């Protein structure tokens, strides 16, 4: 890899309402939405794009998906599977869960670990809070 540099700089999350999901993650992460674009001509009102670009960590892009099917957690045969999720480190799990719930997340029914909490964002993507 003579001099080759490879670096992940962003994660793109598809959703039926990118600006609303960006607003949720802005509340959750206490980071501002740095870029927003409204619907394209002739597109539904929820079409668009948004971005959160933190000082540290990867940029989060939120992109419109017209054929959105929320993933199932935990996955079940014949259903839409979550192909990735965000892992978010916190210093106080109980306080972070309460903050996430107040921001608009829901607690997943299935919790596989005692030191991790799986939550669902408003579009149904699972994400994990851990200490």
Residue ranges covered by each domain of the chain: 1-68, 70-131
Q: Flag whether pLDDT at 1 surpasses 70.
A: no
Query: Which candidate, 15, 9, 11, places its Cα nearest to that of 121?
Result: 15
pLDDT, residue 57, reads 87
pLDDT, residue 62, reads 98
What is the chain's mean pLDDT, rounded?
95
| Lowest-confidence pick of 40-54, 69-83, 104-118 | 69-83
CATH of domain 1-68: 3.30.720.120
pLDDT, one tens digit per residue, over 46-60 is: 999 999 999 888 999
pLDDT, residue 109, reads 96
d(C-alpha 45, C-alpha 17), whole Å: 9
- Cis ω on the peptide bond leading into residue 74 (within 30° of 0)? yes
pLDDT, residue 2, reads 87
pLDDT, one tens digit per residue, over 76-89 is: 999 999 889 999 99
| SS3 of residue 98 by DSSP | helix
Does this model's pTM top 0.85?
Answer: yes
For domain 70-131, give its CATH number from 3.10.180.10, 3.40.930.10, 2.40.240.20, 3.40.190.10. 3.10.180.10
Q: Flag whether pLDDT at 90 surpasses 90.
A: yes
Tell me what percent of the residues of the chain surpass a pLDDT of 90: 92
Domains 1-68 and 70-131 share a fold: no
């Amino acid at each position: 890899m003579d001099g080759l540099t490879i670096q992940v700089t962003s994660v793109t999350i598809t959703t039926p309402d990118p600006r609303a999901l960006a607003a949720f993650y802005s509340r959750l992460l206490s980071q501002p939405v740095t870029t927003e674009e409204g619907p394209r001509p002739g597109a539904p009102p929820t079409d668009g794009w948004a971005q959160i670009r933190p000082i540290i960590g990867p940029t989060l892009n939120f992109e419109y998906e017209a054929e959105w099917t929320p993933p199932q957690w935990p996955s079940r045969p014949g259903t839409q599977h979550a192909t990735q999720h965000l892992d978010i480190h916190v210093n106080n799990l109980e306080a972070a869960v309460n903050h996430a719930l107040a921001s608009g997340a829901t607690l997943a029914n299935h919790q596989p670990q005692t030191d991790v909490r799986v939550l669902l964002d408003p579009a149904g993507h699972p994400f994990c809070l851990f200490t």
